[in-house]
Amino acid sequence: MTVPVLSAQNIGKSYGSGANRFDALKGVSVDIRAGESVAIVGKSGSGKSTLMHLLALLDDPDSGALLVEGTDAKKLKGKEVNRLRNQDFGFVFQQFFLTANASVLENVVLPLKIAGVDPKERKARGMEALEQLELADKAKSKAMNLSGGQKQRAVIARALVNNPKVIFADEPTGNLDTATGAVVEDILFSLNKDKGITLIIVTHDIDLAARCDRQIFIRDGLEDVTRSPEAIAKPAGAHS
Amino acid sequence: MKFVDIIRTAIANSFRSKLRTGLTVIAIFIGAFTLTITSGIGTGVTSYINSQVSAIGAADVLTVTKADDGATAGDGPAPYDPEKATAISLGNGSRPGSTIQALTDDDLDTIEATSGILGVDPSVQVTPDYIVYDVSGKFELTVNAAATLTTADLASGEQLDNESATDQILLPTTYLDPLGFSTPESAIGQTVTIGIADFAGTQQQVPATIVGVQNETILGAGAGLNQPLTDRLRAVELSGTPAEAPQSYATATARFDLDASDEEITAIKADLADQGYASQTVADQIGSFETVINVIIGVLNAFAVIALIAAGFGIINTLLMSVQERTREIGLMKAMGMNGGRVYALFSTEAVFIGFLGSALGALVAVAVGSVVSNILATTVFENLPGLQVVQFAPSSIAVIIGIVMLIAFLAGTLPARAAARQNPIDALRYE
């Protein structure tokens, strides 16, 4: 067996203190292997986003351990964590987080700029990523002038530009209509299949979750093991 | 992120909100403009004074007066001392009504006996009644007693020569027209007649040769006389004086070794002070003059700095709003692996750039406006002071001003930049 890319071991996270203490995650163990696509499914407030943030090293767990390719994340220095997030991870967010009045290309090459890549190479790699997502003709447009689907494609291009090992997608289709959402889904899954990029999708959309190799259901901060793919097929009074 | 990219991004960011940046730049502009203008005035006035006194010939001279004996108005009048010389007016150029204790011949002997003093001469102030040339008519003649101590800024001719056997006079340009000379050159070598009253009040006439014509100066207006001419006029003034009348002088000039070090000069001055005499070198006199100007410039600069500090708060405000507005963007950059130090650098650079923009524009406009105003003033208000450019700009001081403003901007940017650098990527991304 190969070492998992990311391995969460009984991790927990709480916010606030005293009476306001809120346990967002109460101990969840997850192994994510290179090349698979995993859906983290749950209702809002279930702790699924917190789990993703912990897996993406955006936050530190209060309890349990997170291993990155076998190494405890606590032992990584800030610089290494930054390098990891910059070069090995790609992020796709529901709210896009594009800089509205900067050009699409500028938005896409932001991770390369942070990494300190030369402008010339930045441009070449940025255009390459945009071409993959058929957005090359919009490279010079301002981000705010794009449609929703184009914006999400630009965000995927940005996540892709560093050739990451893992892409984290937080409700990638949440702000899109069904048709556009389907296109974005296809793009993400083709990246997973063709390039072997590990895909971690946080969603409450059961149809999207069903397309992933594996689903992890989160409920009230714990993994809900009673839910199986079969149960999704016939949801009994489940919210969609 | 590379340094060049940080600078480029910071500049691009500062132009993102043009109105807000623009208003902050205006605030800095006002401060930098004021600072540049005041420093320009300082440079202009100082360089004018320096040109007026640049060629001081008498670096080995102390002007000695009797020190104030400490009887101030608050202490009531000092007891009468029959041995003490009477008070004497400082004469031309001093505050009206101001007097100091006169120096007597005894005092001169005491001063001369002081170690380090090579010789002492009483400063003789002669008061001629009039000057006349040819058929010009008679005009009042003011004498600049300090003329032989300084090297005149000549329009034509030569400096006064104290060793010469001839009686020489140096006329200011303002005397040319009334006396009937069309150009400074035409006056050189001509003989004018000076009228002066003797002790009995009878006017006598003394001829003098014009050796030079002097541009008007701020240091004592009036004609310069060489020593032989002064002596001759003095002799006329004193003729008929009762023999027992004691001689008294307002000031005396004491010479010391030209090579004397600063310490030696200080020692001589201290020695004289112990004996009850106040003494000043020419440098001291100019120094006190420059001190006054420096104080005025300093006050003006203080106002400019206050304006800049106010502008600094403008920068803090602008950047805090900018940090707030870009919370998500900062969060995203941090999520993508940008460290806090770089985020800090990004916002600090933006502050410094805003500071640079304001100060460079302010300095540039100040130079343009200052030069135009200075040229206009030179031909109107200061027409009678040739060579005075009120506002002059030294590139080094402009660079210093821009540097200081950028430093203030950097300090102002510290607070917002820290706020940005400390943001937690998750909180920032969740921020609505």
Total Cβ atoms within 10 A of residue B403 = 13
Query: Would you place residue B238 in the very low, low, confident or very high pLDDT band (cuts 50, 70, 90)?
Result: confident
Please tell me the distance from the alpha carbon of residue B166 to that of residue B143, in angstroms, as a whole number: 18
CB distance from A116 to chain B under 8 Å? yes
Please tell me the distance from the alpha carbon of residue A150 to that of residue A96, in angstroms, as a whole number: 10
- Asked whether residue A132 carries a pLDDT value surpassing 70, the answer given is yes
Please tell me the distance from the alpha carbon of residue B207 to that of residue A68, in angstroms, as a whole number: 108
Number of domains in chain A: 2
List, for residues B249-290, the tens digit of each pLDDT value: 777 878 787 777 778 888 888 888 888 888 887 777 777 777
Query: Would you place residue B59 in the very low, low, confident or very high pLDDT band (cuts 50, 70, 90)?
Result: low
Decide if A22 is inside a domain. Answer: no
Out of A187-201, B21-35, B126-140, which region has the weakest mean confidence (pLDDT)?
B126-140
Total Cβ atoms within 10 A of residue B66 = 22
E-assigned strand segments in B257-298: 277-281
pLDDT of the residue at B149: 65
Is residue A84 domain-shared with residue A186, that is, in the same domain? Answer: yes
pLDDT of the residue at B271: 86
> Taking CB atoms and an 8 Å cutoff, what residues of chain A touch B16?
101
Is residue A122 domain-shared with residue A57, that is, in the same domain? Answer: no
> Taking CB atoms and an 8 Å cutoff, what residues of chain B touch A116?
1-2, 5
B426·A110 Cβ contact <8 A: no
ipTM of this model?
A: 0.86
Whole-number average pLDDT of chain A: 87
pLDDT of the residue at B372: 92
Decide if A16 is inside a domain. Answer: no
A82·B337 Cβ contact <8 A: yes
pLDDT of the residue at B82: 67
Which chain A residue's Cα is nearest to B12? Answer: A102
CATH code for the domain of A223: 3.40.50.300
Is residue A174 domain-shared with residue A81, that is, in the same domain? Answer: yes
State which of A129, A148, A163 marks the end of a domain.
A163
Which of B332, B338, B424 minimises the CB distance to A97?
Answer: B332
Please tell me the distance from the alpha carbon of residue B101 to that of residue A108, in angstroms, as a whole number: 87
State which of A130, A163, A196 marks the end of a domain.
A163
List, for residues A133-161, the tens digit of each pLDDT value: 888 999 999 999 998 889 988 999 999 89
- Asked whether residue A108 carries a pLDDT value surpassing 50, the answer given is yes
- Domain span at A104: 97-163
State which of A106, A133, A163 marks the end of a domain.
A163
Decide if A17 is inside a domain. Answer: no
> Taking CB atoms and an 8 Å cutoff, what residues of chain B touch A87?
337
- Asked whether residue B75 carries a pLDDT value surpassing 90, the answer given is no
Is residue A210 domain-shared with residue A198, that is, in the same domain? Answer: yes
pLDDT of the residue at A238: 45
Using CA atoms, how far residue A45 sits from A91, A219, B40, B78, B283, in Å, is 21, 9, 65, 95, 82
Per cent of chain A over pLDDT 90 is 38
Decide if A61 is inside a domain. Answer: yes
Residue B105: CB partners within 8 Å, gap ≥ 6? B246, B247
pLDDT of the residue at B225: 85
Is residue A189 domain-shared with residue A78, that is, in the same domain? Answer: yes
Out of B60-74, B96-110, B308-322, B399-413, which region has the weakest mean confidence (pLDDT)?
B60-74
Which chain A residue's Cα is nearest to B325? Answer: A99
Decide if A19 is inside a domain. Answer: no
Q: Phi/psi of residue B93, each to 5°?
A: 95, -15
CB distance from B425 to chain A under 8 Å? yes
Is residue A1 domain-shared with residue A117, that is, in the same domain? Answer: no
Decide if A23 is inside a domain. Answer: no
Which chain A residue's Cα is nearest to B425? Answer: A58
Is residue A106 domain-shared with residue A36, that is, in the same domain? Answer: no
Is residue A171 domain-shared with residue A81, that is, in the same domain? Answer: yes
Positive or negative torsion for Cα B219, B222, B225, B230: negative
CB distance from A80 to chain B under 8 Å? no
Is residue A137 domain-shared with residue A176, that is, in the same domain? Answer: no
B335·A116 Cβ contact <8 A: no
Is residue A177 domain-shared with residue A77, that is, in the same domain? Answer: yes
CB distance from B5 to chain A under 8 Å? yes
Which chain B residue's Cα is nearest to A81? Answer: B337
Is residue A55 domain-shared with residue A68, that is, in the same domain? Answer: yes
Is residue A80 domain-shared with residue A173, that is, in the same domain? Answer: yes
> Taking CB atoms and an 8 Å cutoff, what residues of chain B touch A115?
1, 337
Tokens at B409, concatenated? 């901007």
pLDDT of the residue at B73: 47
- Asked whether residue B408 carries a pLDDT value surpassing 50, the answer given is yes
pLDDT of the residue at B71: 46
Decide if A24 is inside a domain. Answer: no
Decide if A119 is inside a domain. Answer: yes
Out of A125-139, A204-218, B234-248, which region has the weakest mean confidence (pLDDT)?
B234-248
Instruction: Choose among A214, A224, A228, A230: nearest CA to A32.
Output: A214
